[in-house]
Structure 1
C-alpha cells in the first residue's frame, strides 16, 4: 500500500492511516501482485456501488481539557519537595546538645511517594535522638528517615538532637528525595551552621582525666 508516495504496511485489504487537521486526506493505492500457482477466488458479485457521500465541511474545533498523565510521566505535573532546617542555638559550647528542626513540605500538586530524608552533621557530632511526625528514623549517623508518602500541600517535621564534640564551625547538611518525578531539585537541600565555643568546664575535666588524683573532682 502506498499513501502519498509513502509505503505503509497493510493486511487483508485493510490499513491504518493517520489523518490530521493539517492533512485531512491521503491518496492511497493498494497494489496486488499475482503469485504463480495460487488460485485466487473472485469475490461474489455485488450490487451497484454505494455512492460516495459528498464531502462535509469540517466541524468546529471544540476545546478540550488538558490531558491527565500518571505521576512520574514526562510532561506531567509532579510533586515538589522543599526542606528547611534550623538549630536551637547558633553558638553552643563544647559538649552541649543542639536540637535541629527539619521541615519537609510538598508544594507540588500531587503526592510524593517513598520520601526519604538524609542528615549528615559531620564527624564532630554524636546523635542523641531523632524523631519524626511520620515514618521512622534510624539511630545512627549519617541519619536516615523514611517518611513514606507526603501528600500535596502536606509537611512533616523531624527533630534531631546532636551533641557537639569539637570546637569551631559545624555545618549540618540535610537532603530529601523521593521515588517520584519531581519538578525541581534545587530546594531539596538545607544547611544549618553553628559555631561551637570552648567550654572550660568540659575541657578542664578532660585535662584532669589525665591525672588520676583529680578525676573525682569532675
Structure 2
C-alpha cells in the first residue's frame, strides 16, 4: 500500500499578514514542523507554491491557484491517485502536529473494516476538521474526480463522503488540531509547548 501525505499550503495568509508557513516556530519554518516525522516511505504532496523542505516532495497547485482548501484537497487527491497511491492522509500546512495527526488517521483507516473509506478528524470540542482526514478506495476516487472546485468548501467534501461511502470519525487531542491563523498563535504554541521540537520526533 502506497500512502500519500497531502499538505495544504496554498493559502494567502491574509489574517497573519505575511507568509505564515515560512514563519519560524522554535527556529524552524512552520511548514517544516507540519511535515516533520512523516514516514520516509510516504509520498509527500504539497498543494501550493514550491518551498524548501528537508525531504523530497511533489508540488502541485489547486485549480484555480489560491482557490481554497476544498480545491486543494481535490488537487492533492488527484496527484496522489496519478502517482499510484492507494491511501491519502491530509493536513493543513499551518498545523505543527499535522504529521502526527495524519499518521493517527491513516492507522485508524487501516484498522477499519473493509467498507470504511475515510476517517475524519474531530477536534477536542467535537467539530469535524475537513482538512484532516484519511481516505482510500472509493472515497479517494471520489475526491480525485470531484469537479467544479472553484470556491469549493472543504466541508462539502465531507458531506459527499458521508453520503456515498463508509466514514468514521476520530477524536484527536487538542495539540494535533492546533493551527496558526494570526501571529499571536505562534506565541501561544511556544508558551504551551504545543509544537514538534526540531530534535524530538517521539
TM-score by length of 2: 0.22
**Bigger relative contact order, structure 1 or 2, given CA contacts below 8 A and separation 6+?**
2
User: Which is higher, the Rg of structure 1 or of structure 2?
Assistant: 1
